[in-house]
């Protein structure tokens, strides 16, 4: 069966420090991968999605970047964190877009607090 | 273009009473519809999905939803609430738009279950 792992689960970082959140998927190949952010009391905002190694699409301009160095690895990064980057970050995977019905499977999330 | 409206940001019920969480959608394409549940500081778990088969969809934990095209609704119901149902619920629409599936999340409904 497929599993998705996300770490770290909790992170407290000062403003201006770098960020790296990692996500890996097991039990499937060539997944579509997604990074979402959930701000307190709000819905989910899609940040990045990837359909393959090195292929990243950004949905919103921001202080963050994403990379996909391996088929089942997705990394969210920042060179200098802002206070507004605080939130709950969720990684998700889904099947090939043309052959599935769109459901995504989510990791446990990473809570980032920027002080 | 597509959108999702969750009509209630908060719903409170007593344990053992029915649950109704309302969702309306709009989509230019034949949509797939999902309900996800999120417990505090956790990822999202798929409850159920509608993918153009039976209009009454049964999910996990006794939840079900009915797709009503004429009303553009996909309300989530459960006959008898349990304390463990207290969580945030998201209605999601997915439609194939210009070759890729676009997922749109509702803003969420927080369900409280009173003893």
Q: Which residues of A touch B48 (CB under 8 A)?
A: none
| CB spacing of B32 vs A102 below 8 angstroms | yes
The residue assigned the tokens 């792992």 is A5
The residue assigned the tokens 């990473």 is A110
Q: What six digits make up the tokens of A39?
A: 């701000």
Q: Which residues of B touch A87 (CB under 8 A)?
A: none
Nearest CA to B5 among A40, A48, A43? A43
Q: What six digits make up the tokens of B108?
A: 């969420």
Task: Of A9-23, A45-59, B87-101, give the range with the top mean pLDDT.
Answer: A9-23
Q: Which residues of A touch B108 (CB under 8 A)?
A: 42-43
Ordered DSSP codes for A84-115: GG-EEEEEEEE--TTTS----EE---EEEEE-
Cα gap B83→B114, rounded to integer Å: 7
For residue B32, give the nearest of A46, A101, A109 by CB distance.
Answer: A101
Whether residue A96 has pLDDT greater than 70: no
Among chain B residues, the shortest Cα distance to A95 is held by B101
| CB spacing of B32 vs A46 below 8 angstroms | no
| CB spacing of A43 vs B108 below 8 angstroms | yes
The answer to whether A43 contacts chain B (CB < 8 Å) is yes
CA B12, distance to chain mean position in Å, is: 16
- Residue burial A13-51, b: 16+ Cβ < 10 Å; e: rest: beeeeebebebbbeebeebbbbbbbbeeeebbebbbbbb
The answer to whether B74 contacts chain A (CB < 8 Å) is no
For residue A59, name the pLDDT band (cuts at 50, 70, 90).
confident
Question: Sign of dihedral through CA atoms B52, A105, A24, B101?
Answer: positive
Tens of pLDDT, residues B87-98? 999 999 887 655
- Eight-state DSSP code of residue B17: S
- Residue burial A74-99, b: 16+ Cβ < 10 Å; e: rest: bbbebeebeeebbbbbbbbbbbebee
Tens of pLDDT, residues A63-90? 899 999 999 999 999 999 999 999 999 9
């Amino acid at each position: 069966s497929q599993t998705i792992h996300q770490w770290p689960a909790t992170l407290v970082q000062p403003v201006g420090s770098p960020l790296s959140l990692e996500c890996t998927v097991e039990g499937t190949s060539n997944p579509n991968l997604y990074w979402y952010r959930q701000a307190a009391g709000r819905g989910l905002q899609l940040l990045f999605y990837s359909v393959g190694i090195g292929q990243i699409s950004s949905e919103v301009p921001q202080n963050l970047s994403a990379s996909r160095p391996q088929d089942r690895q997705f990394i969210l990064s920042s060179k200098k964190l802002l206070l507004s980057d605080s939130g709950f970050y969720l990684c998700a995977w889904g099947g090939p877009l043309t052959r599935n019905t769109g459901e995504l499977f989510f990791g446990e999330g990473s809570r980032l607090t920027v002080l | 273009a597509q959108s999702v409206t969750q009509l209630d940001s908060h719903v409170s019920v007593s344990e053992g009473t029915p649950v109704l969480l309302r969702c309306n959608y709009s989509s230019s394409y034949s949509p797939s519809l999902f309900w996800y549940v999120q417990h505090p500081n956790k990822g999202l778990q798929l409850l159920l999905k509608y993918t153009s088969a039976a209009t009454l969809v049964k999910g996990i934990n006794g939840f079900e939803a009915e797709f009503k095209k004429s009303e553009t609704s996909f309300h989530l119901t459960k006959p008898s609430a349990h304390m463990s149902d207290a969580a945030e619920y998201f209605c999601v629409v997915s439609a194939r738009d210009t070759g890729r599936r676009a997922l749109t999340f509702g803003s969420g409904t927080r369900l409280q279950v009173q003893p």
